[in-house]
Amino acid sequence: MKNVLIALVAFLALNPQARAASQVFDFKDPKGVNNAVFKLDAPLEAINGSAHGISGSVTFDPQNPAAIQGRILVATASMQVPNPVMKEHLHGAQWMDSAKHAEMKFEAKSLKNLKSSGDTHAGDLTGELTLKGVTRSVSAPVKLTYLKDKLGQRVPNLKGDLLVIRSQFTIKRTDFGINPAAPQDKVSDEIEITLSIAGASAR
């Protein structure tokens, strides 16, 4: 037993990767670059917009990416569209009801079909998405890129690591009670969401 313990200590000393543990990544980006883009492409009209009020935290182990857990929050009030009248409608009670539902939330539950190449990991992320007070299970393809010691290149004078999350998936607005009566030839029921965000684990 003594020899086994000595061998284990030596292995850990010579292999720092074996000691790697989960890290918590904060997605409240001080640069304000993180964003979610949404698109509704109906036969008569296309609506494009974005949201920048992103926060939340994700626990990620670069040696066990399938164990990812955490939540991403988006401030409803940060949603923008180019047309000012559309923007007013977007935040109104029939649509996102920003006054009553201040945040949208995605909570990660499991990552399956994982394929890894170096520090990049791709798979199908399942979780619970909450919009306008309605929570539904969704699954989306996701790409995770772990960037060790790269935080300082994004935010000067900070040391640490980055986790970049990229995903593109589609939901139905009627599933979440987002103005279900709107004519679908003018306002698509399908909402295409593209996410590209970076979280920081400072040290």
φ and ψ at residue 65, rounded to 5 degrees? -60, -25
Report pTM: 0.87
- Give a yes or no: residue 67 inside a domain: yes
Domain range for 197 is 21-202
- Give a yes or no: residue 6 inside a domain: no
Residue 193's contacts (CB-CB under 8 Å, 6 or more residues apart) are 36, 37, 38, 167, 168, 169, 170, 171
Domain count, the chain: 1
Q: Which mean pLDDT values do the consecutive 10-residue runs of the chain (203 residues) have?
A: 43 44 93 93 97 97 96 97 96 97 97 97 98 97 98 92 98 97 96 97 93
Closest CA to 123 of 171, 73, 60: 60
- Give a yes or no: residue 133 inside a domain: yes
Amino acid identity, position 187: V
CATH code of 27's domain? 2.40.128.110
